[in-house]
Amino acid sequence: MKIAVEKGDDKVFLPDGRHTVTITSIEEGTSEHQNVPFFAAHMENEDGFVTQRFYNSPAGHPIILSLYSAVGIKPQEGKDLDTKQLVGKHLSVEVSDHSYTDPASGNERSIRQATGFRAA
């Protein structure tokens, strides 16, 4: 079997620890189980990448606002934030694994995540 390697597929997950990254793309979607809108920010550097989902919900807003703050975008009351503003921005993130129970199967799963957003 041959496995095609597309542009950007040649990177591995970032290792645990703090990394300075660039947001290279944003994908939007809706969560599989609760239909909550989200955007996924693909963040990378020369060592690898991490993709982090941000949920557009009351619980997710403080996390989204900390991301925007870390890249130097100040939210203003009454003005919408556009996720396209994030592409090309640099920031510092803490990368680690996070375990959770999958609601569909009840099995424990682990994902790679970025937290602790700071200015680069």
What per-residue confidence (pLDDT) applies to 119? 98
Q: What is the pTM of this model?
A: 0.87
Residue 7 has what pLDDT? Answer: 66
Check residue 39 and give its pLDDT. 98
72 phi and psi, to 5 degrees? 90, 15
Q: What is the pLDDT of residue 105?
A: 84
- Predicted pLDDT at 29: 97
- Look at the block and give the residue holding tokens 């921005």: 89
pLDDT for the residue numbered 67: 98
Cβ(40)–Cβ(116) below 8 Å = no
pLDDT number for residue 8: 60
Enumerate the H helices of 2-113 as residue ranges: 61-70
Token pair belonging to 6: 């597309």
> Which CATH number is associated with domain 17-119?
2.40.50
Task: Report mean pLDDT in 10-residue bins for the chain, 120 residues.
Answer: 75 96 97 93 97 96 97 93 97 95 86 96
